[in-house]
Chain A
């Protein structure tokens, strides 16, 4: 099946620093990638949708200047958390949409655990 990777899987940083998370679709081209965040014992909340070569579309309440998304190629999207604060600590999951059996299906990465001290 389709594989989506994320790097790093876990990151700890100091408050005020920036952190970049990479999301790659390994065996398919993803014109659309999604970024979610998940707080403990809660569901996934969509942060933004990114299409290759264009600006990301952010969900209401998500600061686009704080969560920078770049989707430079059909296999790579990055999320940069700028000037991170402890409240940004969360589990970030990316998803890439590709064709499977003729149907668009979202495949999820393994997630990145961000802890801001």
Chain B
């Protein structure tokens, strides 16, 4: 069985500050890992995905995530937060053959 745990249901940062959203996974097979962003009343947009190639994955909007097998983590970071980054972020895990399992989500608030 696969699962992800997102630490912190709500993260608040100042504009221009570092964004760090935490995700830990559990998987019995090599995982595929994803980060999605959801704006209010909208579907999910793929930010980036890890598919067993490079451990540091760069995504859209300046986000990146690093796969650390030893820590079973896939934390999402962005060096400098922008007001438009305020949204709900979901980490997800898949074995590539079955459906994705989502974390509970982290709401990012960006203060001016």
B100 on interface, CB distance cutoff 8 Å: yes
Interface contact B41-A111, CB-CB below 8 Å: yes
List the B side residues contacting A1 at CB < 8 Å.
46
Contact of A43 among B34, B42, B104 (CB under 8 A): B104
Least CB separation from B49: chain A residue: A105
Interface contact B90-A111, CB-CB below 8 Å: no
Q: Mark A1-26, 1 if CB is under 8 A from B, else 0.
A: 10010100000000000000000000
B44 on interface, CB distance cutoff 8 Å: yes
List the B side residues contacting A64 at CB < 8 Å.
none
Interface contact A34-B41, CB-CB below 8 Å: no
A43-B90, A103-B51, A105-B49 are contacts. A111–B100 as well, Cβ < 8 Å? no
Interface contact A108-B41, CB-CB below 8 Å: no
Interface contact B94-A106, CB-CB below 8 Å: yes
List the B side residues contacting A105 at CB < 8 Å.
34, 46, 49
Q: Which residues of A contact B (CB under 8 A)?
A: 1, 4, 6, 34, 41-44, 46, 49, 91, 93, 95, 101, 103-111, 113
